[in-house]
Amino acid sequence: MAELAVALLPFAVERLWNLLVRETKQFQGVGEQFEGLKNDVDTLRCFLKDAEAKKHANETVRKIIKDINEIVFDAEDIIETFLLKKTLRESSSSSVRRFASVTVRTMVLGFDMKPIRNRISKVIRDMQSFGVLQNEERMQSLEVRERQKRETFSIDDQEKSIVGMERNIEILVGYLVEEGSSQVVSITGMGGLGKTTLARKVFNHETIKSHFREGLAWVCVSQQFERKSVWETILQQLRSECYKSKMKENELLEKIVGVFETQKALIVIDDIWREEDWDLIKPVFLPNKGWKVLFTSRNEEVALHADRQCVTFKPECLTSEESWDLFQRIAFPIKDTVEFKIDEVNMKEIGMEMLKHCGGLPLAIKVLGGMLRKKYTLHQWKVIHENIKAPIVRGTGFDDGNMKREVYNVLYLSFEELPAYLKHCFLYLASFPEDFKIDVEKLSYYWAAEGILRPMDFDGASIREVGDGYIEDLVKRHMIISERDVKTFRFETLQLHDMMREVCLRKAEEENFVQTIGTSTANSKSPCKSRRLAIVSSPKETFNVDKEVKNPSLRTLLLFFESGSWMKISFLFTRHKLMRVLDLSYVEFEGGKVPSNIGKLIHLRYLSFKGSYVTQLPSSMRNLKKLLYLNLGLTFLLVRVYMPNVLNEMRELTFLLLPKFLKDETKLELGNLVKLETLKNFNTKHGRVTDLQGMTRLRSLSIFFVTDERYTMETLSSSLSKLSHLESLTIDSLVYTPTNDDEEGFVWDFVNLKQLNLELYMPRLPDAQHFPSHLTTISLKWCRLKEDPMPILEKLLHLQVIILGKRSFCGRRMDCSKDGLPRLQKLQFEGLEEWEEWIVEEGSMPLLHSLKIKSCRKLKELPDRLRFITNLEDLSIKNMGDEFKLKGYLPYHLTTIHIKECCLKEDPMPILEKLLHLKEVRLESKSFCGRRMVCSRNGFTQLQKLRFYELDEWEEWIIEEGSMPLLHTLDIYDCKKLKELPDRLRFITSLKDLSVNYLSSRFWDIFSSTSRLTTIHLNESCLEENPIPILEKLLHLKHMYLGERSFHGRRIVCSRGGFPQLQTLFFWGLNQWEEWIVEEGSMPLLHSLEIYCCPKLKELPDGLRFITSLKSLTCYYMGKEWKKRLSEGGKDYYKVQHIPSVTIK
């Protein structure tokens, strides 16, 4: 569309004009040609205002617009190439050669400018012939345009989008935390209905966070996804410490299954499209092992395929009144209405007419409200109304109904209403894969590298802060999805709604803004036309740069895959010399050496080797003088990297992340990098700490500080003293040996500091008045503080998180006084070896929510006044000394308690069962060393989940009648001396989920046909007798899992009439099992059958063909012949031909 390109033109031309004005002094020797070019561009600017007003241009105008875009790019390339080469020549050693080179270059530049000027003259003539008028007022320069005043983004802005959702949120939360309900809940409906918004509100609900305390994960399943990447995302969010790069699928499966066995977890699977997508990822979701899944999908059958008993929730389109309510909340922010007089009656009439085009879809309504957020006159509303009625998306392929076309009219118009610079920002999002979580910091640097961030928006602000402002604007317009982080109060990641992404992709294609490779949305235009290339595939084979990357005018290359080798990488550097942005994350360079030809990319502003295999960087990188962003955070942590001393010449750098491990001979000078805003992994072994003195713009800094005869703590203090903009500071100095025990560490003068992480010797903290007053998080390790740190820390009124790590405190007593730490929410102690006594006064830490104590082996008990902290719900105690005891004054409002490796000699149940709000108890790994445990009558009135793990001495468990009346889940693992389950367990009618291992067949005697168990998980029991005759009589059993070595027999028989409610059956690792017989009439409701690693099982039972309810069969690692026999035409195909989904691997 011509309107789009014209709208983008003013910004591109203004960027070129600003470059010409800024660099005028550099063009001595070609003054006539340069001034002529400036005049030509200035004349071109005069036509832009009228060109932008032309809304119905023909093909000729569209071609003129494209020509202008190409002229702008080419002119920038010529000018910047001259400037950089001029700088390089001026730094050469020979003054004669330097003079000769500069003279030659100025002559060449003069010749290069002539074709540009001729092309500008031609497009001006063409515009005049078409009737585009010259406006002498011309558009105002970006450098002098008044800066817009930004609104403060508030949490209230997020709440405005939940009209009609409040009740739905509560219903969904109820389903997910109810122990007896289905494991699968789905939100289904058409695009734009608010499914993801609703899921996010549920995901972030306080009840959900409390219930699934350590197990929350959000994963997007795009239309093209890999199972491994989904599993990786789940594991990283649930247990990041268990995740390692390049894990195999079977390793991921084992880890995730292990997590589900030990804790409750909610997994949100957003935007899943097909039933077969679930079949791919479901192996980690074993029957009822602590997980619940919340789907969002346009296809209701996906959730029903996963679980026929699933709860399906279908949001409805908003009514006209609900639509108006949501719209006006966004269009008229409360804080603004007092400043303007609004024609409410007429505006509502027009507004209701516009809302008809939204079809009751919350997305379209919010976007419309965002468009009108700052338009307060009736005339402005009429203009938007007329534009909505115009056929904006005619011819773009929306032929499946007028309503969809009308909704897209609204979404497309939201793009047209953006200022030109935000159009560039929005179109840049077309570079990213579907459902990709876009890192805002990285995106801000992409924008900066391409000149999209306006100079007028800086005014002392950092690149990250300016980018954050742009994100805020797009969020307010509801064109992207993002929320500010509660700790940093910044946007950390963002995503696009499916429908807005469709708008973005189509607009980017129209403008030829970016070329994509490896996705279904790759545009059909020649790659030689686009100056931006995004490779979003995950190559199984070597990626051939020569074949796929052809455009010599390429400015941006982004990669979105986790690993892969490249051919002809040096050719990339030789051919594409005009690149500004080069993201080579996770690339494996041959031999670990980055080719020296990278030094030819003199225009580079952004370069990333994040996660790449690199052992040596070339000295030619000294030529990359325009770099703003350099990321050398390599994946292979133990590989030491050789880095030449070239960084000091990159004076424009604002972001620098160094490798953690450098070769000993590496020496780096950084004193010239005074524009740095982020510096990570700086090591004084390889660089001078005094170089930090001039980096006064730093916001984030992490240092490995090695003291020697050159540097002391005073040196460090002096070097950091002027860094007043610091917001995050990390100092690691483990090898520091003190010379003076009274040393207080360094002087603190960081008024903006919010996060502080120290791993260094510092026997005394500074006084509270010398501490950063806005600190929200502090983590201390190896400080060896002699005095109690709490009297100082509790005066820091903004502290939310305190972590006192290993040997941070060497004293024996700690006191938390009344009214201290008023905002603290998380408190963690670990490795305080001398700490013996902890005093907490009533009124201290009133908002404390989570308390964790680990490896404080001299601490004998918890303070009694913890019980007055009514917000304290989560308590974790691990690896305490032999003298540690639980006493009867634990916090009353605890909902979760986790005890591990404490070797409690006395039965903890008499104390724990009196906590009336307790819902989950976990006693693990020698937490109890006694032999007898008793749960008394009427104890644990709210307990829902109970887990015992590795209690080696535990022999006897007694449950009195009336104990644990709400118990839903019981897990017993590796308690090898426990001889039997208590008989009264059968009277706990709420018990639905039982998981045990290492037990004999008599354990099942306590369960009769009246048991209400719905799930049984049996593992490591080595049963010789077939357990099925007992289990199949459990009339409510829906899910059964027989895991590794749970059965050592060779034959299993499922008899007629058995398992009347069974829906899911899972066998795994039954190494001796050879024969399986299923009689007709057994398992009549079986829906899903999975068999893993049962190598001696010869074949599936013939009786499987009678189970007509069976919808899914999965067999993994069952021998080479299985797939052949069960495939169409195979010997056993008749047994499975009625099953819709069969997977054999």
Band (pLDDT 50/70/90 cuts) for residue 680 is very high
Plot region of 166 (φ>0 → left; ψ -120 to 50 → alpha; else → beta): alpha
The answer to whether residues 948 and 1067 belong to one domain is: no
Give the pLDDT band (50/70/90) at residue 303. confident
Residue 523 pLDDT class (50, 70, 90 cuts): very low
Q: What was the pLDDT predicted at 338?
A: 43
Higher pLDDT, 224 or 620: 620
Structural domain includes residue 54 = yes
Helix (H) or strand (E) holding 653: none
Confidence of residue 911 (pLDDT cuts 50, 70, 90): very high
Give the total residue count for the chain: 1145
The pLDDT of residue 526: 46
Quote the pLDDT of residue 530: 78
pLDDT at 62: 62
What confidence score (pLDDT) does residue 307 get?
A: 78
Q: How many CB atoms lie within 10 A of CB 803?
A: 17
Between these two residues, 737 and 696, which has the higher pLDDT value?
696
Cβ atoms 161, 197 nearer than 8 A: yes
* Predicted local confidence at residue 108, as pLDDT: 52
Instruction: Tell me how far apart the alpha carbons of residues 905 and 889 are, in angstroms, rounded to a whole number.
Output: 18
- Say if 436 falls within a structural domain: yes
Tokens of 254: 């084992």
CATH code: domain of residue 541: 3.80.10.10
Q: Which of 510, 541, 568 is the last residue of a domain?
A: 510
- Residues 559, 571 within the same domain: yes
**What's the domain range around 964?**
909-998
Radius of gyration of the chain (CA): 33
Q: Which amino acid is at 980?
A: E
Express each pLDDT in 242-253 by its tens digit. Answer: 777 677 888 888
The reply to whether 285 and 181 lie within a common domain is yes
* Residue 147 lies inside a defined structural domain of this protein: no
Q: What is the mean pLDDT of residues 588-615?
A: 88
pLDDT of residue 156: 45
Question: 451: part of which helix (H) or strand (E)?
Answer: none
Tell me: do 522 and 477 sit in the same domain. no
Predicted confidence at residue 522, as pLDDT, reads 42
Residue 1025 included in any domain: yes
pLDDT at residue 658 greater than cutoff 80? yes
Q: pTM value?
A: 0.80
Q: Which of 997, 1032, 989 is nearest to 1013 (CA)?
A: 989
How far is the C-alpha of 623 from the C-alpha of 453, rounded, in Å? Answer: 24
pLDDT category at 207 given cuts 50, 70, 90 is confident
pLDDT at res. 678: 97
Does residue 44 belong to any structural domain of this protein? Answer: yes
Structure confidence at residue 668 (pLDDT): 95
Angstrom distances, CA of residue 777 to CA of 781, 800, 831, 845:
14, 6, 19, 15
pLDDT at 9 (0 to 100): 57
Please say if the pLDDT value at position 884 is more than 90.
yes
The answer to whether residues 539 and 641 belong to one domain is yes
361 and 393 fall within a common domain? yes
Residue that is last in its domain, among 491, 510, 529: 510
Three-class DSSP category at 978: coil
Counting the structural domains of the chain, the total is: 8
Examine the pLDDT at 613 and tell me if it is beyond 70. yes
pLDDT at 97: 47
Together in a domain, 860 and 746: yes
Query: How far is CA 408 from each of CA 313, 355, 392, 969, 1118, rounded to the nearest angstrom?
Result: 25, 13, 8, 48, 50
Q: Where are the beta strands (DSSP E) in 189-286?
A: 216-220, 265-270
| Average pLDDT value for the chain | 82
**Does 109 lie in the same domain as 88?**
yes
Q: Do 506 and 518 lie in a common domain? A: no
Phi, psi of 169 (to 5 degrees): -60, -45
Residue 696 has pLDDT above 90, yes or no: yes
Burial class (CB in 10 A: 0-12, 13-18, 19+), 117: middle
Q: Are 761 and 786 in contact (CB under 8 A)?
A: no
Domain shared by 741 and 863, yes or no: yes
Q: Is residue 138 part of a domain?
A: no
Q: In terms of domains, do 747 and 789 share one? A: yes
Q: Which are the contacts of 986, defined by CB distance < 8 A and separation ≥ 6?
A: 1006, 1007, 1008, 1010, 1011
**Is residue 499, in this structure, part of any structural domain at all?**
yes
Whether residue 398 is predicted with pLDDT greater than 70 in this model: the reply is no
Using one digit for the tens of pLDDT, what is the confidence trace for 472-519?
Answer: 999 999 999 888 876 777 899 999 988 999 999 998 888 888 888 764
pLDDT-based confidence at residue 895 (cuts at 50, 70, 90): very high
In a domain, 731, yes or no: no
Segment 204-212 shows an average pLDDT of: 84
Angstrom distances, CA of residue 781 to CA of 121, 703, 732, 784, 865: 67, 14, 9, 8, 27
Q: What is the CATH number of the domain that holds 888?
A: 3.80.10
Given 510, 537, 555, the domain boundary residue is: 510
The pLDDT assigned to 650 comes to 96
Pair 479, 552 in one domain: no
Highest mean pLDDT among 78-92, 101-115, 318-332: 318-332
More confident residue, 165 or 62: 165
Q: 817-833 pLDDT, tens per residue?
A: 999 999 999 999 999 99
Closest C-alpha to 447, from 556, 587, 559:
556
What is the pLDDT at residue 803? 98
**340-344, 942-946, 1099-1103 — which is least confidently predicted?**
340-344
Burial class (CB in 10 A: 0-12, 13-18, 19+), 370: buried
Across residues 469-473, what is the average pLDDT?
94
Q: What CATH number did the domain enclosing 191 receive? A: 3.40.50.300
